Structure 1
Amino acid sequence: MKKKITVIGLGYVGLPLARLFATKYAVVGFDLKKNRIEELTQGKDSTHEVDSEALLKVLVSKNPSNEQNGLFLSDDINDIKDSDIYIVTVPTPVDKNNHPDISALRKASETVGSVIEKGNIVIYESTVYPGATEEDCIPIIERQSALKFNVDFFAGYSPERINPGDKEHSVEKILKVTSGSTPEIATEIDELYKSVIIAGTHLAPSIKVAEAAKVIENSQRDINIAFVNELAKILNLMGIDTNDVLKAASTKWNFLNFKPGLVGGHCTGVDPYYLAQKAQEFGYHPEIILAGRRMNDSMGHYIASETVKMMLKNDLKIKGSEVLVLGFTFKENCPDVRNTKVIDVVKSLEDYSICVNVFDPWPNPAEVKETYDIDIISKAPFKKYEAVILAVSHKEFESINIKNLLSENGIIYDVKGVLEKESGVKRL
């Protein structure tokens, strides 16, 4: 008999996964946000990760039996009581002090604990520090369910590798790391993912190994970007174009061609803190990891201060001037504003008493207002600005003649390094 699956959390990770599994299994997609369930039921995904046609193709109007295929959406906990496998894909951000916040993970574990039955498996996909599954989540399920781990129910960890906005590397095309709490369960979990992931799987020897693999992937990327960000600061002082240097250096076969810029989002700007906190619990105080984070977290202020220096050089007023920031999401061509570092640029400019306008057609303005307390422009502006900062290279910006948005002697700061080098344009 086929297994019935519940996916808890229908965001950037959970929805694509639920849709994929629904092509071969009976799946319940569970989310506490009623408005999210309502929009998805209509075939609309505000994250743009699953297109309407693909979503509507797998949606079913009633809770399917094990032998059926399809995705049933619900915010009612009663609809997930008969599942065999529970996959948790809730957010794991950091708080304002950059401490890991696993409150959503704990809440999801309580939910699983209230419905899990003997023989069931719970698989976590949310990014965590090594040990979180077995030390933080499983005890909650045991207390809630009165069942015994690895006797009555089992667990696994398979880290998500979704890249928001990336249509080429969709979930089924990304090799999946899997793991399980016993050798038998590990094999079962691996076979489950292997049945839908065409890129294949890698079975890790333990849950902790799989957890650690996830956090070091993004920590490594964070450190590499921190290096080129520091390089950009040094080369700027020397009057050397960073992009020209990287282009020349990348001609060597083993050079890693990372680009300088703002490092935010749900993974790269967050995962290093998860690894660092766990290291500190073991008495080790990481140096390179946190140094990289400090460098990357400083870039918003750096971009703002460099913009102001250019404005002063061009005899432009600072106090009361107007600056346009193009883009607010954490990366191009997606609506995801989680942990975006563009907000640091905006707030730093405002510290100079500059009036900042932000134009971005991708995110929900209401979400931006609620999360960051700023208003964004969702339609192309037509006024003149003392400075324009290209913070995110959305495809919509390619057709904008940025020079037409500048006042006399106005300047352009190209964070993404995509504009041609010319007078009045500075690249990071």
Structure 2
Amino acid sequence: MNKNPKIAIIGLGYVGLPLAVAFGKKYPTVGFDIRSQRITQLQQGQDTTLECSSVELAQASQLSFTADLQEIAHCNTYIVTVPTPIDNYRRPDLSPLISASETVGKVLKAGDVVIYESTVYPGATEEVCVPILAKHSGLVFNETFFAGYSPERINPGDKVHRLETITKVTSGSTAEAAQWVDQLYQSIIQAGTHLTSCIRVAEAAKVIENTQRDVNIGLINELALLFNRLEIDTLEVLQAAGTKWNFLPFRPGLVGGHCIGVDPYYLTHKAQEIGYHPDMILAGRRVNDSMGTYVASEVIKLMTRKHLCVASSTILILGLTFKENCPDLRNTRVVDIAQELLEYGAEVAIYDPWVDAQEAHHEYGLNLLTEVPHAHYDAVILAVPHRQFIEAGIEWVQALRKEISVFYDLKSLFAKEQSDQRL
């Protein structure tokens, strides 16, 4: 292993770019991505994910960007940060990880180290990725090349909890490789590192971080379904329970994004592969995956009570991203609401000032509004509490509605008397 790291970051999305910028301030670093348009934007100092400012990009004086494989051939440390999504059957889709491993394998040299940050199930790095690296490089694992795993902990849109201020879990395929990987990350992570005994432990630690959150949110979502039938306000219940010092402050809502709505399926896949059925994890997933359909059904009930015909109605959804104040559309469950309403024949419009309209159309076939007409909608669903909606206030939301209409405040952004219902 080389004592003078020359780093290549494979994949320049929400995870890879902040990592490339951090390493690029200290070491010769090349950011590699197969999307030539992404490379051009970054070379011009523009980050469409909004994770890194033009100033931050400029501060990484040793960082360059490329889509040319040969321009990373001189590197000795390869860090893979590609997505690990699920397919239509909610099974792990490792194709981006496999493709990235094939790419790295073509330029891998004796003494090089490959570190994975993508979320996987325990064992995936050594069972799936390493054999691909060995096949395409002709090298021998743990003799002429080494591996590490350091799970990403990027929280899109979060300007407080940043890469450098979050403790980094590290691991390596040998004791020497583990120490080398740990020291590499220590050089850029202010919060420090946590070195695990093996790669499988680090993989497991990552996948349960979001599985734990998913199960907890699933519980709160189920309670919200119950309290709605009991005609009790869920938020009021949670605020009362929250006066106890150890009550966990989870809130009901849609569970999407690249982590919480995906990672549990990686763990359950591995569990079922070894003959164990994970009841609690899958139960939480079932509840959370059903919430978009539930919201749509509640809006339809409210409209029916007001004698509004759903099939000929115009319904506005405010917000499309998977969380507030970021442009990230990955695995957003707002589309579940839209699709359910469209099946009932409603005309659904979506407004989100954070979203690139072309990306929304490419990913989900949805056309976004650039302006929102007043007094036009039979129902308004506030799905994502972006700061623009908070600043505009309840008066702006109410002005969008027809005289007889429905307002569903999914995230309880406003007082309960200001909406017809909230989750």
Q: TM-score range by the shorter chain?
A: over 0.9
Asked if structure 2 preserves the Cα contact closer than 8 Å seen for 1:410 and 1:424, the reply is no
**Distance change >3 Å, CA 168–CA 424, structure 1 → 2:** closer
Query: Residues of 2 paired with 1:379 and 1:58: CA distance?
Result: 38
Aligned partner of 1:410 among 405, 411, 416:
405
Deviations 1:352-388 (A, max 9, x none): 1111100001111111111111111133443521111
Question: Do residues 102 (structure 1) and 83 (structure 2) align?
Answer: no
Q: Which amino acid aligns with 2:223?
A: L
Query: Residues of 2 paired with 1:109 and 1:191: CA distance?
Result: 23
Aligned to 1:306: 298
Deviations 1:179-237 (A, max 9, x none): 00011110111011011000111001110000000110100100000000000000000
Aligned to 1:329: 321
User: 3-state DSSP class of the match of 1:366?
Assistant: helix
Query: Residues of 2 paired with 1:153 and 1:362: CA distance?
Result: 43
Q: How does 1:182-331 map to 2 (within 5 A)?
A: 182-331=174-323
Query: Residues of 2 paired with 1:291 and 1:405: CA distance?
Result: 38
Aligned partner of 1:19 among 2, 21, 25:
21
Deviations 1:56-84 (A, max 9, x none): 2225xxxxxxxxxx101000001101111
Q: Which amino acid aligns with 2:404?
A: N
Question: Do residues 426 (structure 1) and 421 (structure 2) align?
Answer: yes
The more displaced of 380-389 and 183-192 is 380-389
The more displaced of 103-112 and 382-391 is 382-391
**Distance change >3 Å, CA 423–CA 145, structure 1 → 2:** closer
Query: Residues of 2 paired with 1:49 and 1:424: CA distance?
Result: 34
Query: Residues of 1 paired with 2:65 and 2:408: CA distance?
Result: 45
Query: Residues of 2 paired with 1:149 and 1:386: CA distance?
Result: 62
Aligned to 1:54: 56
Deviations 1:16-61 (A, max 9, x none): 00000111111000000000000000000000000111112225xx
Query: Residues of 2 paired with 1:161 and 1:411: CA distance?
Result: 39
**Distance change >3 Å, CA 329–CA 288, structure 1 → 2:** same
Aligned to 1:358: 350
The more displaced of 250-259 and 7-16 is 250-259
User: 3-state DSSP class of the match of 2:82?
Assistant: coil
Q: Taking every aligned residue pair, what percent have the same amino acid on both sides?
A: 56
Runs of at least 5 residues in structure 2 that lack an aligned partner in the other structure? none
Aligned to 2:4: 2
The more displaced of 84-93 and 396-405 is 396-405
Q: Which amino acid aligns with 2:414?
A: L
Q: Which 4+ runs in 1 deviate beyond 4 A?
A: none
Aligned partner of 1:42 among 37, 41, 44:
44
Question: CA RMSD for the aligned pairs?
Answer: 1.0
The more displaced of 405-414 and 259-268 is 405-414
Q: TM-score, normalised by structure 2?
A: 0.97
Following superposition, the deviation at residue 238 of structure 1 comes to 0.5
Query: Residues of 2 paired with 1:75 and 1:82: CA distance?
Result: 15
Q: TM-score, normalised by structure 1?
A: 0.96
User: 3-state DSSP class of the match of 2:330?
Assistant: coil
Aligned to 1:111: 103
Query: Residues of 2 paired with 1:127 and 1:228: CA distance?
Result: 25
The more displaced of 192-201 and 49-58 is 49-58
Deviations 1:270-328 (A, max 9, x none): 00000000001101111111111110000000000001111112222222101100000
Following superposition, the deviation at residue 406 of structure 1 comes to 0.8
Q: Which amino acid aligns with 1:406?
A: R
Asked if structure 2 preserves the Cα contact closer than 8 Å seen for 1:122 and 1:156, the reply is yes
Q: Which amino acid aligns with 1:11?
A: G
Asked if structure 1 preserves the Cα contact closer than 8 Å seen for 2:317 and 2:381, the reply is yes
